[in-house]
A = this chain, B = another copy of it.
Amino acid sequence: MNDERQQRVLDAAQRLFLKYGYDKTTVNDIAAEAGISKGAVYLHFKSKEAVMDALILREGQRVQADIMRRLAADPDGGNLFNIFRYGLIGLAENELMRAFYSRRREVFGDLLKRLAPKIADAEARSMSVEFVRQYQAAGLIRPELDPATVAFLMMVMRYGLLTIDEVVPRDESPPIEAVGALIADLLQRGLAPEGGGDPEAGKALFNTLAQGALERLKQQGRPAPDTEEGK
C-alpha cells in the first residue's frame, strides 16, 4: 500500500546487500536501515527473497527507463550501435545490475543458484543472434558478416565491460560514457555497410524489439505460471 515506505525498504536492502551481501544482511538490519520494524517489512514483502526479487525488478526497470531516456535524447537513437551503447552504459552505471551480470557471490550469496537462470535469460535476451540477424536483414549490418560471430562479439564486450571491475577498479577506468562512445563508433565503422544503412529501418525494428523486452521484464515480477521450482 504505502509505496514510499516500500521504496525505502528497497533502498535500505540495496545499500546493505551491496555492502555486506544478501547472506550477511538480516531482515532486522533492513528494517533498521529503513527506520521501521521487522514485522513491517513483511507487510510489504512476503519473504526476504521477495525483497531481492523486487529490488532486481526495480533496478532492471530503472535501467530500462534510463536507456530509453538516453535514446530519446539522441537524435540518432534508433541506430543499432547507439542502442547497444546506451544499454551498455545504463547497465554499467547501475551497481546492482553490474553485480547481477557478474554473478557476484559476495552480493547474492546462496540466492545465486536460483538467480542463475534469470541472469542467463537476461544475458541471452539483450544480445541474441536473432537480434543481430534482424538488423542485418534490415541492411544495417554488412551482409557478409556472420551474425553469430557478431552477436558473440557484442556479448563479449558487454560482459567484459560489466565484469572487468574485478580487475580494473572502477575509479581507475576511463569514464563509461567515453568507453560507450568509442564502442559505438567502432561498431559503426566496423559493422555497418557503406553509407551506414537506413536509420528508419533501425528505429522501426527497435520499437518492436523493445516492446517485447519490456513485456517480458514485467512478467518476471509476477510468480512464474508453472516453471518447475523444485530443488
* Residues of chain A whose beta carbon lies under 8 Å from any beta carbon of chain B: 103, 120, 123, 145-146, 148-150, 152-153, 155-161, 163-164, 166-168, 173-174, 178-179, 182-183, 185-187, 189-191
Contact = CB atoms under 8 A, between A and B. Distances in A.
Given A187-B186, A189-B190, A190-B190, A179 B152 contact: yes
A186 B179 contact: no
Given A145-B182, A182-B150, A190-B186, A167 B159 contact: yes
Contact of A152 (B173, B186, B187): B173
Contacts of A187: 186, 190
A182 to B, nearest CB: 5
Given A185-B190, A191-B186, A159 B148 contact: no
Most buried by B among A145, A149, A156, A158: A156
A183 B182 CA distance: 14
Given A148-B174, A174-B146, A190-B185, A179 B164 contact: no
A189 B142 CA distance: 13
B155 A168 contact: yes
Contact of A149 (B103, B161, B178): B178
Contacts of A166: 103
Nearest to A181: B149
A163 B159 contact: yes
A159 B148 CA distance: 20
Contacts of A178: 146, 149
Nearest to A156: B160
7 contacts: A123-B167, A145-B182, A152-B173, A155-B167, A156-B160, A156-B161, A158-B160
Contacts of A149: 174, 178-179, 182
A115 to B, nearest CB: 13
A59 B166 CA distance: 24
Given A149-B182, A186-B186, A164 B174 contact: no
